[in-house]
């Protein structure tokens, strides 16, 4: 019985390497039944900063630990207008922020607005931010669009 087990073991060692030499692993999608699908953790990170130096306005977006991430950010800037659009679809952590400084001084101590948003989870965002020079209300608030 021991001799038979040794013979079977030796046969397996000899046969399987020969079989493995002719085997090609296919990597593919769910539509290919012979393909091997890999499962692994992947995390995406992305950050963008936009600035309108003429109006002293800046915006930033940052995404970390995202398992799904699709973003778009646009800026229209001139000396009297800053318009920022941010679109994002993600699962993870997202941070979006805007800073508006006094256009006359540009000093960080003369901050007129500082807005920060933090999102954790599954989100689809569509943010629109508009700053028009000399169009603050008497109370100092930015106009709502």
List, for residues 118-143, the tens digit of each pLDDT value: 999 999 989 888 888 776 544 444 55
Q: Render pLDDT for 3-23 as a digit per residue (tens, 0 to 9).
A: 565 555 555 555 555 554 555
Calculate mean pLDDT across residues 34-42.
58
Check: CB of residue 26 under 8 Å from CB of residue 35. Answer: yes
Q: 63 and 46 in contact (C-beta within 8 Å)?
A: yes
Answer whether 0.85 is exceeded by the pTM.
no
pLDDT at 29: 55
d(Cα 106, Cα 119) in Å, to the nearest integer?
Answer: 29
Please give the full DSSP string across the chain, using - where no structure is assigned: -HHHHHHHHHHHHHHHHHHHHT---EE--TT-TTEEPP-----EEEEEEEEETTTTEEEEEEEEEEEEEEEEEEEEE-SSEEEEEEEEEEEEEEEEEEEEE-TTT--GGGEEEEEEEEEEEEEEEEEEEEEETT---TTSPPPP-
Q: What is the pLDDT of residue 101?
A: 87
């Amino acid at each position: 019985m021991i001799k038979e087990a040794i013979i079977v073991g030796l046969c397996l060692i000899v046969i399987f390497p020969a079989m493995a030499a002719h085997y090609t692993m296919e990597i593919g999608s769910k539509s290919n039944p012979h393909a091997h699908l890999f499962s692994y953790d992947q995390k995406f990170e992305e950050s963008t900063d936009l600035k309108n130096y003429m109006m002293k306005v800046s915006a930033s977006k940052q995404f970390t630990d995202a398992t799904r991430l699709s973003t778009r950010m646009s800026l229209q800037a001139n000396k009297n207008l800053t318009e920022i659009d941010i679109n994002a679809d993600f699962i993870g952590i997202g941070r979006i922020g805007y800073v508006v400084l006094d256009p006359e001084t540009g000093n960080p101590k003369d901050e007129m607005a500082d807005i920060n948003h933090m999102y954790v989870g599954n989100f689809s965002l569509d943010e629109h931010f508009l700053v028009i020079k000399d169009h603050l209300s008497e109370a100092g608030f930015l106009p709502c669009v």
